């Protein structure tokens, strides 16, 4: 029965090689037999489809003649063609099992080749609250964070000063321990970092009393955070390698989420600052000078004669600073109340204005 490899991968016939690779990557992970969603038969079918469609010559042949003529490669038992992998470096262990890191093979299958996994500490996330003014012009904060950090007594060595070291009995000095893992290719031995010596292969005869030989310990650490000008509410600042430490590895990162308090008068729109002010009706008619409270101090704002209700006045270059050095503007919306009850004198004045055509 003819097979539709495009349908197997869930792509269109005009799909690019990158689309095909992404589709295969997603389905292969989904159907891998070692996954909870695994399905060995579908895993083989996905592999088979990718073998054909990822090769320009085979794909052209398939598009013209279908899956006939591939010499059994397209059959149910075809599976992956591992001719491109080098098995010479793998050691056969007891009971016919192989000893190697599955990342060597599946790293090639899913792209990226062999990768050395570096131990990395845990990332930390904290929240800080700043004022609206601080969000506009920037600020600096000191945070006291309780986290796992490098032991300051042994400087991460995990040993007392001038003590001797000995071979780790848990991993026999290799720094790694091996575990059996089942796969469709057979039973494999996977290696992971020895938890006793943290991959060093050696342990001190006298462990550091402060950290118990771990090289890291929980402690308070002061972190100075520079909040940039113009930051928005909800934005995150990332401080590389300021997270938790791990023995003989890389520190995690510190993420600071910014929360901005509301201002009584001002709000933000892009790089502009907006405010609403109320003036008297007579000031709207005759014009006036208005003392405006800004984030940088008081400013005298000239209200022109006959300003309309809701009209916006602009003060250039007094808004939010930008990375390019240019600042936004202040935008001030002017409103004024309509009087309710009028005295006889006020009513007479307005009636006279009506007669003037105003």
What does the DSSP assignment read for 303-353? EPTTPPTT-EEEETT-S-B-TTS-B--EEEEEE-PPP-S--HHHHHHHHHH
In a domain, 138, yes or no: yes
In a domain, 198, yes or no: no
In a domain, 184, yes or no: no
**Cα separation of 192 and 198, whole Å?**
10
- Which domain covers residue 293, as residue numbers? 267-335
Residue 37: per-residue pLDDT = 76
Residue 257: per-residue pLDDT = 95
Residue 176: per-residue pLDDT = 84
HSE value, Cβ hemisphere, 13 Å, CA-based, for 122: 8
What residues of the chain score a pLDDT lower than 50?
71-115
**Model pTM?**
0.59
Residue 90: per-residue pLDDT = 41
Strand 202-204 versus strand 124-130 pairing type: unpaired
CATH number at residue 32: 1.10.287.110
In a domain, 191, yes or no: no
- Are 15 and 69 in a shared domain? yes
Helix, coil or strand: residue 228: coil
> CA 96, 97, 99, 101 torsion: positive or negative?
positive
Listed residue (255, 323, 261) closest to 135, CA to CA:
261
**Cα separation of 47 and 80, whole Å?**
6
Burial of 279 (0-12, 13-18, 19+ CB in 10 A): middle
- Are 146 and 229 in a shared domain? yes
Domains of the chain: total: 3
* Bridge partners, 331 (sequence order): 274, 314
- Are 256 and 128 in a shared domain? yes
CATH number at residue 135: 2.60.260.20
- Are 56 and 140 in a shared domain? no
- Are 242 and 323 in a shared domain? no
In a domain, 111, yes or no: no
Integer CA distances (angstroms), 45 to 52, 63, 252, 320, 358, in order:
11, 18, 39, 57, 84
In a domain, 344, yes or no: no
- Can you read off the two tokens belonging to residue 50? 């990718």
Rounded to the nearest 10°, the torsion over CA 147, 149, 154, 157 is: 130
Residue 98: per-residue pLDDT = 40
- Backbone Cα Rg of the chain: 35
- Are 246 and 282 in a shared domain? no
Q: Which residues lie closer than 8 Å to 237 by C-beta, 6 or more apart?
A: 225, 227, 228, 231, 255, 256, 258
In a domain, 183, yes or no: no
In a domain, 101, yes or no: no
HSE value, Cβ hemisphere, 13 Å, CA-based, for 315: 17
- Are 253 and 135 in a shared domain? yes
- Are 254 and 143 in a shared domain? yes
- Are 224 and 331 in a shared domain? no
- Are 51 and 35 in a shared domain? yes
- Are 26 and 145 in a shared domain? no
- Are 143 and 271 in a shared domain? no
Residue 207: per-residue pLDDT = 87
């Amino acid at each position: 029965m003819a097979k539709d490899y495009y349908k197997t991968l869930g792509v269109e016939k005009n799909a690019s090689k990158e689309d095909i690779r992404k589709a295969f990557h997603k389905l292969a992970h989904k159907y891998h037999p070692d996954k909870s969603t695994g399905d060995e038969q579908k895993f083989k079918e996905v592999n088979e489809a990718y073998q054909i469609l990822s090769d320009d010559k085979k794909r052209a042949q398939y598009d013209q003649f279908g899956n006939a003529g591939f010499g059994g490669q397209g059959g149910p038992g075809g599976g992956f063609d591992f001719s491109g992998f080098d098995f010479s470096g793998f050691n056969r262990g007891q009971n016919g099992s192989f000893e190697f890191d599955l990342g060597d093979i599946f790293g090639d299958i899913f792209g990226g080749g062999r990768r050395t996994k570096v131990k990395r500490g845990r990332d930390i996330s904290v929240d800080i609250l700043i004022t609206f003014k601080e969000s506009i012009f920037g600020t600096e904060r000191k945070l006291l964070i309780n986290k796992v950090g490098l032991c300051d007594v042994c400087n991460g060595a995990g040993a007392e000063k001038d003590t001797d070291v000995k071979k780790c009995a848990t991993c026999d000095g290799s720094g790694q321990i091996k575990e059996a893992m089942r796969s469709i290719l057979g039973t494999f031995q996977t290696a992971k970092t020895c938890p006793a010596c943290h991959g060093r292969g050696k342990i001190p005869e006298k462990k550091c009393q402060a950290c118990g030989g771990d090289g890291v310990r929980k402690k308070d650490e002061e972190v100075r955070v520079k909040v940039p000008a113009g930051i928005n509410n909800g934005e995150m600042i990332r401080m590389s390698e300021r997270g938790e430490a791990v023995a003989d590895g890389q520190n995690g990162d510190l993420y600071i989420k910014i929360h901005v308090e509301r201002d009584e008068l001002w709000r933000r729109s892009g790089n502009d600052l907006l405010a609403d002010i109320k003036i008297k009706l007579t000031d709207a008619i005759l014009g006036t000078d208005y003392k405006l409270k800004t984030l940088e101090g008081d400013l005298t704002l000239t209200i022109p004669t006959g300003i309309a209700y809701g009209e916006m006045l602009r003060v250039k270059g007094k808004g939010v600073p930008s990375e390019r050095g240019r600042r936004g503007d202040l935008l001030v919306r002017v409103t004024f109340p309509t009087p309710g009850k009028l005295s006889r004198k006020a009513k007479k004045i307005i009636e006279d204005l009506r007669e003037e055509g105003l």
